Structure 1
Amino acid sequence: MAVQIQVTFDAAHPPTLGAFWALALGYVEDAPPPGYATWDEALDAMGVPLDQRDTAYAVVDPDGVGPRLWFQKVPEAKTAKNRVHLDVNAAAGLPREERPAAVRARVAELEEAGATRVREQEENGAYWIVMLDPEGNEFCVQ
């Protein structure tokens, strides 16, 4: 039996970080609960005050294949290197000689969305770029 997983991010501003990762991975905002047209409508019904509506955010793979990503608000800032990170595969299926250009193009899009390039790596025929998301979480584009 397959086990479903969710990847959880601690965040200063969950909706902003969630929107970045939705763009990076081709995900979409998780739908509101059944019976509600919007999240605001659902949160109104749940009695969630306006000033607490940025405490969590979720994005999902529109094809239902990848894990759900959950972003939860925490008071402390990120202070150390990630022990786990996500890789964005921008060059899947491309011939080796075409991969660096595809990776660089995707990196440029993610920089426009608020990511920061850290360094380029090439090792044993593999090429990737290490980046930071808008809140400083490390990830790679390969």
Structure 2
Amino acid sequence: MAIGVQITFDARDPARLAEFWALALGYVVQPPPPGFDDWPSFLVTIGIPEEQHDRASALVDPDGAGPRLFFQKVPEDKTAKNRVHLDVNVGAGAEDRKAAAAAHRATLERAGATFLREVDEPAGWCLVMRDPEGNEFCLQ
């Protein structure tokens, strides 16, 4: 039996957070179903009122290898430390993985991320970051 996985984020602004994570991971916003040019056209067809079109957004790996990311609108802000976080491995295969991570850090900071700290321990190295809504993640 094949089991798929989707990672779901609560968000104040699902579209903005999806755009950030698309940049962070090299993902793309999930295209609308066949026969529709855009999501609003599809949502109207299935009876979702226009004022609710901002309730969700989703990303997919263009190579089809990684999990789908789903962003759902919630009214409250993030209030506690994540119990689960993503490790974004941008340095894999790079000649200088720390330089690759530093370059991606700069890109993500321009998109609204915040750098928290560098971790350099015998168990591993990473840059600890927060996305625009405060969710922690690591760049390696």
The offset of 1:37, in angstroms, is 1.7
Return the TM-score normalized by structure 2. 0.95
Are 1:56 and 1:70, in contact at CA under 8 Å, matched by a contact in 2?
yes
CA RMSD of aligned residues (A): 1.2
Q: Distance in 1 between matches of 2:108 and 2:20?
A: 8
1:135 alignment counterpart: 133
Question: Which runs of structure 1 show a deviation greater than 2 angstroms over 4 or more consecutive aligned residues?
Answer: none
Q: Distance in 2 between matches of 1:125 and 1:48?
A: 48
Are 1:99 and 1:127, in contact at CA under 8 Å, matched by a contact in 2?
no
Deviates more, 1:82-91 or 1:39-48: 39-48
1:77 alignment counterpart: 77
Alignment length (residue pairs): 140
Percent of residue pairs bearing the same amino acid type? 60
Are 1:119 and 1:131, in contact at CA under 8 Å, matched by a contact in 2?
yes
Give the secondary structure class of the aligned counterpart of 2:80. coil
The offset of 1:116, in angstroms, is 0.3
Deviations for 1:36-68, whole angstroms, at most 9, x for unmatched residues? 121111012122222111100000000110000
Unmatched 5+ residue regions in structure 2?
A: none
Return the TM-score normalized by structure 1. 0.93
The answer to whether structure 1 residue 120 and structure 2 residue 80 are counterparts is no
Q: Distance in 2 between matches of 1:2 and 1:27?
A: 22
2:34 alignment counterpart: 34
